[in-house]
Amino acid sequence: MNILQREWALYLDGKNYKAKRNLYQTVQVNENFYIGKQWEGVVSNGLPTPVFNFMKRVVNYLVASIASDNIRLNAEPIGVTSEEDCEAVNAAFAELIEDTDLSGLLRKALKNAAVDGDSCIYMYWDPEVVSGEPDSGGIRAEIVDNTRVIFGNETERRVQYQPYVMIESEEYNSEVRRKTEKFNPEGLQNLNSFDGKQTVVLKLWKDNGKVLATEFCAGTIIRPEWETGLTRYPLSWMSWDDVRDSYHGQALVTGLIPNQIFVNKLFAMAMVSLMTTAYPKILYDKTRLDKWDSRVGSAIGVNGGDMANVARIIDPATISPQISQFINLAISYTQNFMGATDAALGNVNPTNTSAIIALQRASQVPTELVKLELNRFTEDFGRNALDFCRAYYGKRKIRLPNGLVETYNFDKLNSSAMKIKLEVGAGNYWSEIATVQTLDNLLAIGKITFREYLERIPDGYIKGKADLLKARTPQPTEVTDVGSSV
């Protein structure tokens, strides 16, 4: 067995493991339910197929409540590492968070974890990115679906403990041929010439603390083994809910699908009942009337006899109120169990501030483990970024917090030890909404004054807030010296 056959066999083993776990079908079903395609594959035979997608609202709320735009990665010195080195790294982190839109990446990663079960951020060096020095290259980061990532040890979810990691992608054959011609010209003869796409696999593994890589497809080795310069696998991996002895986790959506199906089916059956029995029907005596004329104001002729028994109206059937009750219970219980309660959004009338704050904190308990996992996931991103700085930055201009631009040699970090910590502020959208609604309720019941309300409401909600505050500020009273001079 040659190198290509061995690597391709490892790749197929990883695909088979995912198939045995039914991952591909689970991800497809979950994605369909999330976007609203909840009757996919169901033969309705003309019956209504309503979709009341409360599940998407729950997922979006949880993602918005957990994620934050106020993110900061800090490097702290360990041992003899200088503060100057940490300042340079922190400046590089600040630039990287902005360049990669880390807040947006984390929100998308959270959504993927909630819907698919896992999420992955892959980092790589792009020599064509202009950042810092002209044409010096830069770090890029992108989300990779969990169906395209293969771990060598299927029972270990920690990335850095893997014997190898594979990342699958689909690339045009012209691009595959271009790379093969550049890195392995002898392999061109094994490639097809069609102008379509094919699967390309990047394999990463460690040898003596260094990360090595190779790239291949079904036909040839695209790029033979090379040293990346890294000491860590450039991947961050998280699961929404861990599953024992598997690197794939359990998705939030998987547990919500039965509830969503129940609600949709109840609505569908209620619609069928309404369409067939909700409207009144008319019975008439065919021995005395040839046909019934339902036109407005039309005369109906009767062939003698008592008019009272010619026709009558059948009252429509009524739907049991339990149907709507169970629909509301299913939706409200699902939202409450996931932490999307009225208290979390501030939609309660507080009798005191301590009570509403206590309720809001209690409602966040179901998401606390996910928040901790997201923090670890983000810190892994920072450790990987530090590894890229050591390997690729070299001498590079950085902007310090005081605004000065200095040149720092990142090669010095090869002998430095640092601790990466994450600082997250409560600046997400839903925390603002909850704050505003709570302040509205406190003002309505007279627990705070209007000035206190203006001082605490976030910016952007009231136009001319500063002018209102100024108008409410008492002006100092001028004191005139009325003492007589001698």
Query: In this structure, is residue 339 part of a structural domain?
Result: no
Instruction: Give the per-residue pLDDT at 249.
Output: 95
Query: In this structure, is residue 451 part of a structural domain?
Result: yes
The whole-chain average pLDDT of the chain stands at 83
pLDDT digits (tens, 9 = 90+) for 151-165: 999 999 999 999 999
Q: Which domain holds residue 465?
A: 429-471
Question: Which residues are CB-neighbours of 50 under 8 A, at least 6 positions away?
Answer: 264, 267, 268, 271
Contact of 152 with 165, CB cutoff 8 Å: yes
Q: Is 91 helix (H, G, I), strand (E, B) or coil?
A: helix
Question: Which residues are CB-neighbours of 92 under 8 A, at least 6 positions away?
Answer: 385, 389, 393, 396, 398, 410
Query: In this structure, is residue 445 part of a structural domain?
Result: yes
DSSP string, 121-159: EEEEEETT--BSBTT--EEEEEEE-GGGEEESSTT---G
Choice among 151-160, 262-271, 359-368 with the minimum mean pLDDT: 359-368
Q: Kindly tell me if the per-residue pLDDT of 122 is higher than 70.
A: yes
Q: Kindly tell me if the per-residue pLDDT of 126 is higher than 60.
A: yes
CA distance linking residue 135 with residue 137, whole number of Å: 6
Residue matched to tokens 């003492």: 483
Choice among 10-19, 43-52, 204-213 with the minimum mean pLDDT: 43-52
User: How would residue 476 be classed by pLDDT, with cut points 50, 70 and 90?
Assistant: low
Query: In this structure, is residue 3 part of a structural domain?
Result: no
**What's the predicted TM-score (pTM) here?**
0.78
Q: What percent of the chain has pLDDT over 90?
A: 39
Query: In this structure, is residue 461 part of a structural domain?
Result: yes
Query: In this structure, is residue 266 part of a structural domain?
Result: no
Query: In this structure, is residue 393 part of a structural domain?
Result: no
How many independent structural domains does the chain possess? 1
Looking at residue 445, what DSSP letter applies? T
Instruction: Give the per-residue pLDDT at 386.
Output: 93
What value does the mean pLDDT take over residues 48-60? Answer: 88
Instruction: Give the per-residue pLDDT at 483.
Output: 45
CA distance linking residue 338 with residue 330, whole number of Å: 12
Neighbours of 214 (CB within 10 A): 20
Instruction: Give the per-residue pLDDT at 274.
Output: 82
Query: In this structure, is residue 457 part of a structural domain?
Result: yes
User: How would residue 325 be classed by pLDDT, with cut points 50, 70 and 90?
Assistant: confident
The values of phi and psi at residue 69, to 5°, are -85, -15
